[in-house]
Amino acid sequence: MNAQRPPEASAPLLQMEGITKDFSGGRVLFGVDFSLHPGEVHALVGQNGAGKSTLMKVLAGVYPDYGGQVRLGGEPIDLRDPRDALEHGVAIIYQEFALVPEMTVAENIALGQEPGERGLVSHGQIRERAAAEIARLGLDLPVDVPVKQLGVAGQQLTEIVKAISRRARILVMDEPTARLSGTEREKLFETVRDLAAAGVGVVYISHFLEEIFEVADRVTVLRDGNVVAVEPTSALDLPRLAQLLVGRDMGTAAGREPTVQGATGVELRGLTVPGRAGPVDLDVRAGEIVGLAGLVGSGRTSLARAIVGMERSAAGSVAVGSWSGLPAHPGEAAERGILLLAEDRKRQGLVLQRTVSENVALTALRSSLTHRGFVRLRERARVVGELIERLRLV
Ligand code: ADP
Ligand code: MG
């Protein structure tokens, strides 16, 4: 944020005008206008599927077939290739990070930098530069550790340093806090504010509306590929923003009665992961959504893993229907009807080289979809088709 001068007073870094984008399924952006000023944190909000990521991928040069006009620093520009965006100082941090897990923090940061004079840099230089960049941003990151050994927050910060080391003038963060804890979030906000104070324009996408009021100067609300509002954050409050987002008053949802009338779906008894979680007793009824809240390290993930048989040392019991025990592995839990959507879906839950159908059918591989070790393809197509229909998955 820029205290002396409102961001609007300066020339815009970015103007997107009348942006359209079609996929084979139809149009998803219907003439979107979006602008960003130096030093501004501009939040882009909207429900799932509203078009936020697509708009930012247009800016990243990922979709050469967009319609409308983009200007960077007032100059019209064709964004037909990711290099066009990079060359103009646009850096995007996606929900799914683009780091090389086996490489160290320093090496990943170096991937974002221009090579040295003869295109060569020594290992020492790579470390030095990374350390300098990290220090300049006032961050705390170990340069020699492979990023796969860092938590989500550390990976996030590595992405930011990588983007900033390219001298990005526009930084887009697509749901950066989705998997961060409270303190990690605060640290990220501080970094975002520092970057803005240094003149970087930040586009901040988040589902957490409270965050918008904490970091953003201005908000653009997208609904079904259309801009429904552009407002300074100071002109909005939480209920109003929620209403803009969904297109109706949210008042009724807040007073919802808890649905505890259903039959018991799952019962946890004395479920323990030694040293990490429990003992926990918990009943979850059919039709009920139960939130497990706690600080990082309080045992939420360990407990979830224990329920599906991923914690060898777990003790206690899980009861579903007439069965009670501890699943020996996630496959057994799945047979009992207990599934885990892992924290890091990209690594733990999906096989990215495989199709949507194959992934959807993955947990069912031992059941009716297989016959003597072979996958029944036609049956799989039918079951997956039904599921996709029911979940409205594209
Ligand atoms: P948001 O980021 O706001 O959740 P997206 O930009 O991801 O929304 O999606 C906007 C719409 O475009 C959705 O209907 C989505 O299904 C569709 N969409 C996104 N990416 C693709 C793609 N690669 N192919 C086809 N449709 C897509
Ligand atoms: Mg998105």
> If you measure from the C-alpha of residue 321 to the centroid of ligand 2, how many angstroms do you get, rounded to a whole number?
37
Pairing of strands 374-375, 323-325: unpaired
Q: Is the CB of 54 under 6 A from ligand 1?
A: yes
- The predicted structure's pLDDT at residue 1: 46
Number of Cβ within a 10 Å radius of residue 74: 10
In whole angstroms, what is the distance from residue 194 CA to residue 133 CA? 14
> If you measure from the C-alpha of residue 213 to the centroid of ligand 1, how many angstroms do you get, rounded to a whole number?
26
> If you measure from the C-alpha of residue 53 to the centroid of ligand 1, how many angstroms do you get, rounded to a whole number?
7
Number of Cβ within a 10 Å radius of residue 392: 7
- Tracing tokens 């887009």 back to the chain, one arrives at 172
In whole angstroms, what is the distance from residue 268 CA to residue 279 CA? 9
In whole angstroms, what is the distance from residue 332 CA to residue 338 CA? 9
Q: What angle do CA 297, 300, 301 make, to 5 degrees?
A: 90
Whose CA is closest to atom 1 on ligand 1? Answer: 49
pTM above 0.75, yes or no: no
Whose CA is closest to atom 25 on ligand 1? Answer: 23
Q: Is the CB of 220 under 6 A from ligand 1?
A: no
Evaluate whether 229 touches 244 at the Cβ level (below 8 Å): yes
Q: Which of 54, 57, 203, 220 to mutate to test the pocket of ligand 1 (most atoms within 8 A of CB)?
A: 54
Ligand closest to 46 (CA) is 1
In whole angstroms, what is the distance from residue 14 CA to residue 90 CA? 10
Ligand 2 ion: residues within 5 Å (CB)? 53
Q: Is the CB of 49 under 6 A from ligand 1?
A: yes
Q: Is the CB of 50 under 6 A from ligand 1?
A: yes
Whose CA is closest to atom 26 on ligand 1? Answer: 23
> If you measure from the C-alpha of residue 66 to the centroid of ligand 2, how many angstroms do you get, rounded to a whole number?
17
CA 58: distance to chain centroid? 18
Q: Which of 23, 94, 95, 228 to mutate to test the pocket of ligand 1 (most atoms within 8 A of CB)?
A: 23
DSSP H or E stretch at residue 220: strand 218-223
Evaluate whether 250 touches 242 at the Cβ level (below 8 Å): yes
pLDDT tens, the chain, 394 aa long: 444 445 455 679 999 999 999 998 899 999 999 999 999 999 999 998 999 999 999 999 999 999 999 999 999 999 999 889 988 999 998 877 788 999 999 999 988 666 555 666 788 888 998 999 898 888 888 999 999 999 888 888 898 888 888 888 999 999 887 777 777 788 888 889 999 999 999 999 998 888 999 999 999 999 999 999 999 999 999 889 989 998 876 555 445 555 566 777 889 999 999 988 889 999 888 888 888 877 667 788 889 999 989 899 999 999 988 889 999 988 888 888 888 877 655 556 666 666 666 666 666 555 666 666 666 677 777 777 777 776 666 5
In whole angstroms, what is the distance from residue 209 CA to residue 243 CA? 11
